[in-house]
Amino acid sequence: MQKKALHSANAPAAIGPYSQAVQAGDTIYVSGQLPVDPATGEFAGDDIVSQTKQSLENIRAVLASAGAGMENIVKTTVFLKDMEEFGAMNEVYARYFPADCPARAAIQIGRLPKDARVEIEAVAVL
């Protein structure tokens, strides 16, 4: 099996010893994406709507570095700071997956890096 780390300048750099994504064969494992705007290094906003959108845009950018898109995603995991924000997150999420949605888990976490409201990871298949 061949494995390679993926990187996109259009997504925030990893803040630890991990890759933005790893491709193993035809499968791409995208690390959890925080809602950091790569142009500013800051959160896209303080609310769940803007943060969900930015996390998904970061996933899109990482996948593009491998010639993939959101349609290649087969599984996501959404980590929420507060499950009360599930509905608002879900509205944004639905815009990115209008049909043939990937499998998904959504869980509330005690605390996310940088005190983000959301972090999303994904698995895609080419």
Q: Could you report the per-residue pLDDT of 39-63, keeping only the tens digit for each?
A: 999 999 999 999 999 999 999 999 9
State the pTM of this model.
0.97
Where residue 10 falls (left for φ over 0; alpha for ψ -120 to 50; beta otherwise) is alpha
Check whether 1 has a pLDDT greater than 80. no
Per-residue pLDDT at 84: 98
- Domain limits for position 116: 3-125
pLDDT mean across residues, the chain: 97
* DSSP-H helix ranges across 14-121: 48-64, 86-96
Instruction: Enumerate residues 6+ apart whose C-beta is below 8 A from 44.
Output: 35, 36, 37, 50, 51, 53, 54
Check whether 8 has a pLDDT greater than 80. yes
> Taking Cα atoms as reference points, which of 63, 61, 54 lies closest to residue 28?
63
Total domains present in the chain:
1
Confidence band for 15, pLDDT divided at 50, 70 and 90: confident
Query: Domain holding 21: CATH number?
Result: 3.30.1330.40
The pair phi, psi for residue 57, each rounded to 5°, is -65, -35
